[in-house]
Structure formats: structure tokens, C-alpha cells
Structure 1
């Protein structure tokens, strides 16, 4: 998640500057051909080109709106995770059945809270696994570029990730039992239900308290399922693919229309079609890219939901609730990006 109020020119160039490597030569090529040949055949009337540009802008705008909905829903899911986590911790810590001792089931209660912290980090790890339609999985040059960017982001928070790996919230036996699980986060939630049932059987909590705590766990299950739906169900590819194709068509035709318009102003003005065409083409490309990167909020790039920071916030809250002295520091943004 980008935390700066405004993007620097350096950040903008990192995000979209590589497209200037083909926009400038393409605009320059068409302009040069027209300047030396004066072929009217290669010019296009501005009216049909403007109609195409308007249609593409509407289509890209629709796609971007839907992409933002996926991004915002992902943020709401993790916001709900924070709320459910706090409710789980406070109920596990304080709920007691009538007649139960004050220290009844304390070890099991702490184990539930520790396991929940491990669950959040495990869910984050699962959501970051690349899928075939995400940018880091592309087989061409931009896939390699995004994979490098993702690795650079992870390198920037290597110290924080090592700190997470060194926390032992699960026993060695529990870790071994999870090794064979296809969905480790789900299995951890199943253990939570077993532990809550054990608290009830020990008469540390009563039935109504067990039902309420299980309702919180079920809410966490629901949010996990919503996050997995966004991760595993791609933005409809026909919308994404045709949006990209329409932008490419418009940018391809753009210099043929611009060069004809500037030629009407005089021979010297033809060269203005190069910078003007690059700016217009770059705007359309960036509009397409914004929606394209927003549709995958769990791929480990700059526009992601800051799951690591959210997990750390919950970890701090829960450890302080139970009086654990080993409270880590909050995650801080790196170069204007919060992870």
C-alpha cells in the first residue's frame, strides 16, 4: 500500500516509465515517415480516432471501477479480520463459567491466542502465492520485471519477515502436523475450535460462551473464504484482455491522426505530434495499468493490501492483552510503501 500523499516522479517512472521505451519510437517513426514522404494515405481523420478514444476511455473507466471494488473489498476483509481477532482474544481471555477458578485453562487460552497470531501470518503467506493471471507469473518481459520488483519489496522487509519466522507461536508437533495440509490456515482454525471445545469440557467456559466464541471463529472463516475468493477467482479475463487490446489499438492509431492534424499548421509543427502523441498514449496506458494492478490485491506488489502491517497490529494487540513482554514494533513503510 502506497502511503505517500503524492507520488514522486521517480515512483511514477518506476511504475510506468518503461512504456516510454516503445511509445517514443512509435510516435517518432510515424512522424518521420510522414515528414519525409508527405503520404496523406497514412493520416487518419481526427473524428473517428476521437470516437475510438472516447469509447476506450469509458471502457477502461468501467474496468478500473470494478478493479477498485476488488481492492476495497480486500481491505474490508482484513479490517474485519482485525475486529474478529480482537473479539476472539478478549473473549478467550475473560470469559469464565460460573464457579470456575480465575486461572482455569490459562495455558489453553494463551495457546489459542498464540495460534491465532500464527494463523494470520499463515493466511498472509498463502494469499501471496502467485496465480497464473498475476503480474509476477507473466512469461514475457513484464513478468520478469514484476518478479524483480516483488523480490525487491521482500528484500526491503527481510528483517521483519525474519522476525516473524523466528516467533514460535506453534509447537514443533503442531508444525509437523500441518506440513501435509493443503490449506494450513484452515487446519489452524479447526484446531481453534477443538481448543474452545476443550475449554468447555474443562468447564472453564459455559455453553453460551462457547457458542459466542465459535461464532467469532466462524466469522474469521467467512473472511478467509472471501479473501480466497478474490485470490483464486480472477477478474473476468474478457474485461481485462479487451481493455488491454482496445488501448493498444488506440495507441497504434494515435500517431496517424495526430500527425495529420499538426500538418495542417505547417511543416515545422509536424514534429509536435511526437511529444503530444507520447503524452496522450502514456495517459491511456497508465489508466489501463492502474486498473490492471488493482485487480490483484494479494500479489506482493506496491498496490497490495498491507497484510504484514495488519498482522503485526493484531499481534501487538493480542500480546498486550495477555501481558506477553515480547511485543514487537509496528511495521513501518519502506520508501513510501507499507507491506
Structure 2
């Protein structure tokens, strides 16, 4: 997630500015051909070009709206994770108590539940970051290589200390860790383990029935939010919308210089050379609109438009540890190069 208000020239170039280079080359090629060959039949009337451009703009706008909807829903899911985690921490801290069970045993049970929940959040984050076949980091050839490098530069290198710190905090007890080896969905099994612990505490008289029901309802909320996040992760943006949007932009950009070179030639003299910068600018706007929507489709792939799951998990971790009175609390995640992951 980009956290600065405006993008500088460097950020604009890194994201889409390099497309201006080949667009300029394409516009220049057509204009030069028009100039040196005197092939006036190359010029396309502007009326059909304007119809195509308007249609493509509406289509790309619709795609971007739907892509942003996926991104915003993903952020709301993790916002609910924050709220539910805080509620779970408060409930565990104040609901679980007993006059019959040893107080130290009860405190250890509370700590185990809170620590397991923190492990659940980081585990879910890791599962959501696993590359899907349709995501940019899974593409072949230079496109996939470029985005894997970008992912590495955005997440792995800037946050290597934080990631190492997370790996060095064993929130799961040693005897519990083998239980999750080889399971298909470790996050789901962690919640199931939480439910079993709560049932045991209820049976031991550490909470009444209403408290147990409320805590179990909170665990079910995590299942709901996890399922929503997995739906976004595992169900791609309909490829007909995404693919045809790209095709339509390519068609428009291909025809663009043939349309505007004739319009500028009407100004007389060599004014048709103005079609090179103007055409490149128009084409660049359409291309950037397309790639903005394209990179907003998948909010869990570790690129610029991602939901900052690492930061959110750390925020919850800090809140829960401080609720339990622990002193060894990590620091909040800070943005790196104006990007918060």
C-alpha cells in the first residue's frame, strides 16, 4: 500500500512511465512514414477513432471500478480482523477465570490462546501471499520476472528484519507444532485448535455457557473473514473482463497515430509532427488506466496495491500482547520507500 499523498516522477516512471517510451516510438514511426512516403491514405477519419476511444474508456472504467471493489473488500476484511482480534483478546482476558482450577494454569491457557491467535494471523497472511496462476508474480517470461523482482524489492528486502523477528517468535508451543504438518489449510486448523481449548476451559468451569458461546461465535467470525479473503484470493477477476480490456486498449493505441496524424495535418505545413507527443500522451493515459486496474485486481500478491497485511498483523500482535501485560512487545511496522506492506 502506497502511503504518500502524491506520487513523484520516479514512482510514476517505475509504475508506468516506461510505457511512454515505446508509445513515442510507435507514434514517431507512423508520423515518419506519413511524412516520407506521402501515403495520405494512412490517415483514419477521427469520428470512428473517437467512438472507439469513448467505448474503450467506458470499458476500462468499469473494469477499474470492479477491481477497486475487490481491493476495498480485502481491506474491510482485514479491518474486521483487527476489530474481532481485539474483542477476542478482551474476552479471553476477562471471561476465562476459575476458583477451582489453579490460577497459573488458567493464565497459561489465556497466554496460549492469545499466542495461537497471533500465529493464526501470520499464517493466514502467508497463505494469502502464495502466488496464484493468474497473478503478476506467476507470469512467464520477462513480465513475471519483472514482478517477482518488484515483489522482492518491496517486501523481502525492506522488511527482512521484521520477517526474521516474526520467524524468531515461537507463538506455538513445541509439542503443538507437529499437529499442523502436512495439513492443507494450517490457518483453519489453528482456529479448530482454539475451539478445542475453549471447550476444555468451559468443561473445567473456567467460563460459563454464555461466555463460551460468545467466544465460539468470535472464532466463527474469523472463519467468515478468512473465507472472504480466500474467495478473493482463489477466484480471479473474470478473465473476459480483464483480457478484453487489455485487447481493446491495444487496438485503440495501435489505431491512435493513424487517426491523429490526419487531424494535425489539417493545420497545414509539418504540424502533423505534433501527433507524436500528443498521441504518446493520449496512449499513455489509456495504458496507465489499464494497468492501474490490472494491478488492483489481486490485493494479496505482495505488490504496490496490496492490503498491508504485515502491518495489520503487527498492530494486532502489539494490542494483544499489551492486553496480556507482556513487556517484550515488537515495534509497529513502518513504511519503506513510501510503501507499507
TM-score category (smaller protein): over 0.9
Listed as ranges, the gaps of 5+ residues in structure 2 are none
Is the Cα contact below 8 Å between 2:119 and 2:171 reproduced in 1? yes
The 1-side partners of 2:102 and 2:305 are apart by 46
The 2-side partners of 1:162 and 1:269 are apart by 60
The 2-side partners of 1:277 and 1:208 are apart by 68
The 2-side partners of 1:125 and 1:100 are apart by 40
Which segments of structure 1 move beyond 3 Å, counting only runs of 4 or more? Answer: 96-102
Alpha-carbon RMSD? 1.3
SS in 1 for 2:298: coil
The 2-side partners of 1:96 and 1:118 are apart by 20
> How far 1:113 sits from its partner (Å)?
0.2
Q: CA offsets, 1:211-267, max 9 Å, x none?
A: 000000000100000000000000100000010000000000000001111111123
The 1-side partners of 2:132 and 2:22 are apart by 28
Is the Cα contact below 8 Å between 1:97 and 1:206 reproduced in 2? no
Match of 1:171 in 2: 173
> How far 1:58 sits from its partner (Å)?
0.3
Match of 2:55 in 1: 55
Note the 1:172-211 alignment, pairs <5 A: 172-211=174-213
The 1-side partners of 2:217 and 2:237 are apart by 31
SS in 2 for 1:180: coil
Match of 1:252 in 2: 254
The 2-side partners of 1:7 and 1:100 are apart by 61
Note the 1:270-309 alignment, pairs <5 A: 270-309=272-311
The 1-side partners of 2:277 and 2:153 are apart by 32
Match of 1:22 in 2: 22
Match of 1:152 in 2: 153
Match of 2:13 in 1: 13
Note the 1:51-130 alignment, pairs <5 A: 51-96=51-96, 99=99, 103=103, 105-130=106-131
Q: CA offsets, 1:150-204, max 9 Å, x none?
A: 0111211111111111111012232222121111101111110011111111111
Is the Cα contact below 8 Å between 2:64 and 2:292 reproduced in 1? yes
> How far 1:141 sits from its partner (Å)?
1.9
Is the Cα contact below 8 Å between 1:45 and 1:260 reproduced in 2? yes
Is the Cα contact below 8 Å between 2:101 and 2:204 reproduced in 1? no
> How far 1:140 sits from its partner (Å)?
3.0
SS in 1 for 2:301: coil
> How far 1:21 sits from its partner (Å)?
3.4
The 2-side partners of 1:66 and 1:195 are apart by 41
Is the Cα contact below 8 Å between 1:27 and 1:255 reproduced in 2? yes
The 2-side partners of 1:198 and 1:101 are apart by 12
Is the Cα contact below 8 Å between 2:97 and 2:106 reproduced in 1? no
> How far 1:102 sits from its partner (Å)?
8.7
Q: How many residues align?
A: 339
> How far 1:144 sits from its partner (Å)?
1.2
Match of 1:131 in 2: 132
Query: TM-score, length-normalised on structure 1?
Result: 0.98
> How far 1:307 sits from its partner (Å)?
0.2
